[in-house]
Structure 1
Amino acid sequence: MVVTALRGALGFLTRLRVGHSEHAWAAFRESPWAFPLAGYVVGALLAVPFVFDVLPAGTVAFAYLAAIFVVTGINHLDGVADVGDALVVHGDSGERTRVLKDTKVGVGAVAAVAVAVAALTLGALGVAELPTRAAIAVVVAAEVGAKLGMATVACLGTAAHEGLGSQFTERASRRDLLSVVLVAVPAAVLSWPTPAAAATLVGASLAGLLVLWRLQGLLGGVNGDVFGAVNEVGRVVGLHLGVVAWTLC
């Protein structure tokens, strides 16, 4: 069950050729703890560029960004774009949702993606300046924290309509948060004795919770775009807080 749910999570969260069977997808939907569990795998893959610490920081940061899009694709970033358009709309939740689902790209989407990519690039540059072990710990913790945020959406969010979001929210509850947190907590000690990984994990998860609270109120519920936005914002905040924690401590 654990392996099957993990395969389903990787099939959903990445471009890896695993977990695309109906059985794996069903197991994943019933197992919100598979989100952060998959975060360890994704984080390990994305941390590979930071092993080559002899390269310039800018090159390592670029390789990290490239790895994100190679491993995970742009589906989550698309959520940021859709949410960006919805946020600049003047109207009720119904009007915002209509714009969210519109395939047209507006100025809100462009601005949101630009800010997200810029913040991610600057965070990656900061991480590239860290010692190798600390950099790897922060990158992995950022992914686990971002996926913890997505699991929180599944456990606490309410889908406004049938769709991708409801596939998770209808099967998860507040009681599932305990198992989700227990799976994610080990990521906090990856940089021991420094608190960099802990700050990354906590920052990423709290950022996701804040995005969930804000978007659920504005949109009247959650959908797949909210999951994607939570992931991207969580990763960015996690990286920056990890670098800050290492610098200050």
Structure 2
Amino acid sequence: MKTLRSLLQFTTTLPLGKPQDLEHFARHSYLYPIAGYIIGALVALPVFFITNTTIAAAVAVALLILVTGAHHFDGLMDFGDGLMAHGDKEKRIRALTDRNVGAGAVALALIITLLLFAGLQESASLISAIIIGEVCGKFSMAFLTAYGTPFHEGMQSYLHGYSQPYFPAISFLLCLPLLLLPVDPIKIFGAFLLMIICPALLLAVSRRLFGGVNGDVVGASNEITRALVVVGIALI
């Protein structure tokens, strides 16, 4: 239970009492998808009672940001600034890690939010799409936590230090219950493919632009992977 509370305190704003030592979760970061199931279910519950698809999709996006405390959304915006910065790795890292919000942050946040909203709106099963997207997004975080060599000291270096190369394999197994949802298995397999491709590409891009990965990149992977998975299952 300490590990679960530590995981949810790191990934959500849920009132879970006394803060747990982050090490409880750091030693078991393969559990990221469990947070995805819980967050997805919490968001899906109120959305289930909204009959208008457009409003339901908008409420889902808002709740996803609120329940996670915009923690990963902030990482997405920082990644956008680093991605759009011009210059060498040092200049890109400064853009990625400073507190200022630039055009790159706003642009990437808008793009990903619009994609997520459109994907949810067009999904045959909005509730399933919310859960699938959130679980797959959390898998991408487990993937980058394990394989993303940190370029400086910070949250990523702390979690990466406890992670093992086989952790993403366990995370993948935790995603398999998604096959039990009332969704065409082809859509699920498509989601699985996207949830692996997205963090793999982000890892390659981050190594090239920044020389490694930090917590912002990992947070961005959650937002990007979630949106692309939801769009993907809507199109398949």
- Give the shorter-chain TM-score range: over 0.9
Distance verdict in 2 for CA 1:37–1:26, change over 3 Å: same
Which structure 2 residues correspond to residues 147-162 of structure 1 after superposition, within 5 A? 147-162=138-153
Letter of the structure 2 residue corresponding to residue 5 of structure 1:
T
Q: Deviation per CA, 1:146-184, whole angstroms, max 9, x where unpaired?
A: 000000011111111110111111111212222221112
Contact 2:6 2:25 survives alignment (8 Å)? yes
Task: Determine whether 1:243 maps to 2:231.
Answer: no
Aligned partner (choices 5, 8, 13) of residue 10 of structure 1: 8
How many Å separate the matches in 2 of 1:19 and 1:214? Answer: 38
Query: Is the partner of 1:214 in helix, strand or coil?
Result: helix
Equivalent position to 2:116, from 117, 120, 125? 120
Identity of aligned residues (%): 32
Counterpart selection for 1:67 from 47, 63, 74: 63
Aligned equivalent of 1:41? 38
Q: Structure 1 residue 193: deviation in Å?
A: 4.8
**CA-based RMSD:** 1.8
Q: CA deviation at 1:50?
A: 4.1
- Structure 2 portions without partners, runs of 5+: none
Q: What corresponds to 1:173 in structure 2?
A: 164
Q: Which consecutive unaligned segments of at least 5 residues does structure 1 have?
A: none
Cα displacement string for residues 67-102 of structure 1 (whole angstroms, at most 9, x for unaligned residues): 112211212111111111111222222211111111
Which residue number corresponds to residue 82 of structure 2? 86
Residue-by-residue CA offset, 1:101-154 (whole Å, 9 max, x unaligned): 111111111111111111121112112xx2xxx332222111111000000011
TM-score for the superposition, normalised by structure 1 = 0.88
Amino acid at match of 2:59: A
Q: How many residue pairs get matched?
A: 236
1:21 equivalent to 2:12? Answer: no
Amino acid at match of 2:140: G
TM-score calculated relative to the size of structure 2: 0.92
Distance 1:153 1:19, change over 3 A: farther
Alignment of 1:128-207 (within 5 A): 130=124, 134-207=125-198
Match of 1:51 among 48, 52, 58: 48
User: Using CA pairs below 8 Å that are at least 6 residues apart, which structure has the higher relative contact order?
Assistant: 2
- 2:72 is matched with which residue: 71, 76, 79? 76
Contact kept, 8 Å, 1:123 with 1:240, in 2: the verdict is: yes
Q: Write the letter of the residue equivalent to 2:211.
A: G
**Do the aligned partners of 2:57 and 2:126 also contact (CA within 8 Å) in 1?**
no
